[in-house]
Amino acid sequence: MVKICCIGAGYVGGPTMAVIALKCPEIEVAVVDISVPRINAWNSDQLPIFEPGLDEVVKQCRGKNLFFSTDVEKHVSEADIVFVSVNTPTKTCGLGAGKAADLTYWESAARMIADVSKSSKIVVEKSTVPVKTAEAIEKILTHNSKGISFQILSNPEFLAEGTAIINLLNPDRVLIGGRETLKGKEAIQMLEDVYAHWVPKDRIICTNLWSAELSKLAANAFLAQRISSVNAMSALCEATGADITQVSYAVGKDARIGPKFLNASVGFGGSCFQKDILNLVYICECNGLPVVANYWKQVIKLNDYQKTRFVNQVVSSMFNTVADKKITVLGFAFKKDTGDTRESPAIDVCKGLLGDKAQLSIYDPQVSEDQIKRDLSMSKFDWDHPAHLQPPSPIAIEKVRVVRDAYEATKDAHALCILTEWEEFRTLDYKRIYENMQKPAFVFDGRNIVNVKRLRKIGFIVYSIGKPL
Ligand code: NAD
Ligand code: UGA
């Protein structure tokens, strides 16, 4: 029986391993983490992450061939294949601060693998890492005097949160990079055999290590670039009277461009786009390619501009002051169908409004009050470094109320800002909301989900990204 161990029971490690266990009943899969609460949650009825379809998969396999444990060393030493899916945040200090990937967690995982291994293993990079990381990892792993060998593979993950299970069950592709040696090819084959349980052969791509590592950064950069491109156009639409929905539709009809990922928004969020592009920028700079670095940097700058533009629009529309006005924020997660708030545009928008002394009333169906308050009192880049977690600042707490219902959140508000595209926000009773709000009542739709005409008819003053005012 092949044994797999995955270090890191997060948004990637948990769902990915659950699907491998589901599709490969003869493989024993252990997911390990240093975080005791996280592992306890994986072993409970309340999983640590909200992901449609995940509960069912975990329930089917847990205790049979899927195990969650904090006994990292035991499971690593017993495994044939070790996936490493730890966090790889942006460095907050030292060389490359604010750009380069912080590989502290990765390096400590690699050192632990080297220390506890008693037999040869395949070590799989599942985390997103800078190109050439495998070389560094190889150095750490092969400097053992035990006479055991390690093959390093790069197998980046392309799932998106909110659709992780669908993506894992039916991936566009699985990418496996390895050394072009006999041993390297054998290792690639072994991992390919795992995925071949459910992924068609023509969707499994095998490359060299560096192509696999770089393809992951490239894919995220291309995806984020599409959003920044459409968001750049949204600003021009507002200035000219064009409508971004119509423009995106017309542009996306070109088969070479395609219709997906062209929704204008208040900005992209999530734990990876910004981090991975900054990482790419840093790699370009280190390789003497400043023009290429600046090209990709612009994707981030445009995203920051879009968030600032949204806040400015709110304040300027409301007679240049939001001081002590109640503003409702609908949605705090970085996208629908997830409770994840990492790098959510809502954080920057709320901070901007708080900076103008607004009173915020926030509702998100999946995000807890604690999480919202923690996010609003943390500095940029600190969110993925547990050691830096600080209690929320009293100023943020004073001006922020988190409520559990959209109607309560909007009562007596001057404005509402829609920052996540939750389905339930499309079907709210906006007439009822309007009646209970201060007048004039404003709606700022950062996700283009409301029917602008209908809301204007009710009496709202509506701003929708990239649409004529
Ligand atoms: P996460 O923070 O949710 O999970 C990482 C886990 O690793 C944490 O639970 C942490 O406690 C654990 N960990 C850290 N160091 C450890 C160690 N030495 N031993 C054991 N456990 C350790 O992160 P995530 O969102 O799952 O992302 C993991 C990686 O996957 C990142 O590199 C990310 O860029 C990449 N990725 C993420 C997504 C996504 O949608 N979130 C998608 C594709 C790729
Ligand atoms: C993204 C990629 O889609 C995954 O392929 C990748 O594996 C993952 O990053 C990763 O490496 O972490 P994710 O961040 O989970 O996945 O979610 P996306 O659906 O890509 O959304 C990212 C952000 O872009 C969200 O804030 C979303 O609202 C925004 N977005 C997306 C738009 O503003 N417009 C769009 O048209 C699409």
For residue range 404-450, what is the model confidence (pLDDT) as tens digits? 999 999 999 999 999 999 999 999 999 999 999 999 999 999 999 99
Q: Please say if the pLDDT value at position 115 is more than 50.
A: yes
Please identify, in words, the CATH class of the domain defined by 3-199.
alpha beta
Tell me how far the alpha carbon of residue 47 is from its chain's centroid: 18
Q: Where in the chain is the domain with CATH 3.40.50.720?
A: 3-199, 242-464
| Ligand 2 close to Cβ of residue 447 (< 6 A) | no
Q: Distance, CA 160 to ligand 2 centroid (Å)? A: 6
Q: Distance, CA 13 to ligand 1 centroid (Å)? A: 7
- Of 241, 237, 259, the residue nearest 249 (C-alpha): 259
| Three-class secondary structure of residue 50 per DSSP | coil
Whole-angstrom distance, CA of residue 138 vs CA of residue 466? 49
Ligand with the closest atom to the CA of 222: 2
Q: Please say if the pLDDT value at position 387 is more than 60.
A: no
Using one digit for the tens of pLDDT, what is the confidence trace for 260-283? 999 999 999 999 999 999 999 999
pTM of the model: 0.96
Ligand with the closest atom to the CA of 37: 1
Q: Distance, CA 8 to ligand 1 centroid (Å)? A: 6
- Ranges of beta strands (E only) in 101-208 are 121-125, 150-154, 174-178, 204-208
CA distances from 397 to 356, 370, 382, 409 (A): 15, 10, 19, 16
Q: Please say if the pLDDT value at position 389 is more than 80.
A: no
| Ligand 2 close to Cβ of residue 270 (< 6 A) | yes
Helices (H) and strands (E) in the chain, counts: 18, 14
Return phi, psi of residue 225, to 5°.
-60, -35
274 assigned to a ligand binding site: yes
Indicate the pLDDT class of residue 392, thresholds 50, 70 and 90: very low
Which of 6, 272, 284, 350 is labelled catalytic? 272
Q: Please say if the pLDDT value at position 390 is more than 50.
A: no
Does 286 participate in catalysis according to the annotation?
A: no
Please identify, in words, the CATH class of the domain defined by 242-464.
alpha beta
Q: Which protein residue's CA is at the shortest distance from atom 32 of ligand 1?
A: 127
Average pLDDT, the chain: 95
Show the tokens assigned to 38.
């996280």
Q: Which protein residue's CA is at the shortest distance from atom 28 of ligand 1?
A: 87
